[in-house]
Structures are given as structure tokens and as C-alpha cells.
Amino acid sequence: MNRYIIILSILLLGLTACKRQTMEERIQAEAQLFTQKNCPKQVDKFTVLDSCVFSIPKRTYYYNYTVKGDLDVDSLYTKDLHDAFREDLLSGIKGSIALKVCKDAGVTFCYRYYSDRSGKLLMLQKFTKKDYK
């Protein structure tokens, strides 16, 4: 009897020690690793990718950018510019093989662009599964 209790205890201990990461935890870890290795990353003359963050409770993948120079002007961010950015970003999501796991999981993608001068949010673009499927 004691032998069975010991074996059962070892099995339970082994199973709890082998806890697997959920898909969300893997996505979060990959976002953190990408940020540590690659950010800040100069995307172009005016844009810097500051970080990538995945929020498990919101199931949202955030791309945080800083805009500087000639593009760091509030008045530029009109509805027309928002619409043009939205189309380009959505096209990128739809065509991205690298985002396949996230897309298959129905993750929401959120792109945030902040002013280098003021820190103010200049533009936010959010894409749900309905948008990119």
C-alpha cells in the first residue's frame, strides 16, 4: 500500500513539474524575447519599434512605435492617413507567415504610434480575427 502511495506521489510530482506552456504563454515569451533582442529597432527614418508585448488576458499582441521628425506632428494624423495605414497594416497581417500561429489562435493585433516629442498617442490601429480572416 505504501509503495503505491509513493509511486502515485512521484507520478503526480512529475506531472506537475512537466507543466506545458499554453499557446498564449509561448506567444508572450516570444514577444518578450523579440523585444529584448531587437528593440528599439529603427523601421525607417521616422519610426522606431520600441517593443512587442502580448497581453494574455486581452489576447492582444501590441506593437509599440515612436514617431519622430517630420511625422511627429498631430495634424498629420487625419482620417485619410488612418485609413491608409489601416489598409497597409491589415495587408501585412493577412500576408504574414510569421503571424500564422497568432492568426490561427484568433489573436487581436494592436499597433500604437506615440509622439517622440510629447509621448502622446498619435494613432492606434486594432485588428481582430474578423478583420484579417
Judged on CB neighbours under 10 Å (0-12, 13-18, 19+), 61 is buried
Q: What value does the mean pLDDT of the chain take?
A: 89
Q: What is the pLDDT of residue 109?
A: 99
| pLDDT tens, residue by residue, 5-31 | 344 444 444 444 456 889 999 999 999
Chain segment 43-79, per-residue pLDDT in tens: 999 999 999 999 999 999 999 999 999 999 999 999 9
The confidence score (pLDDT) of residue 19 equals 64
Count of structural domains within the chain: 1
Any domain includes 88: yes
Residue 38 covered by a domain: yes
Cell numbers describing residue 47: 519610426
- Measure the CA dihedral 41/46/50/56, to 10°: -110
Task: Look up the CATH number of the domain holding residue 99.
Answer: 3.30.300.250
| Residue 66 is assigned to a structural domain of this protein | yes
Q: What are the tens digits of pLDDT across the range 77-110?
A: 999 999 999 999 999 999 999 999 999 999 999 9
pTM of the model: 0.83
Task: Provide the domain limits for residue 85.
Answer: 23-132
Distinct helix (H) and strand (E) counts, the chain: 5, 5
Is residue 1 assigned to a domain? no
Residue 10 covered by a domain = no
Q: Is residue 18 part of a domain?
A: no
| The predicted structure's pLDDT at residue 18 | 55
User: Is 93 contained in some domain?
Assistant: yes
Q: Look at residue 67 and tell me if it is in a domain.
A: yes
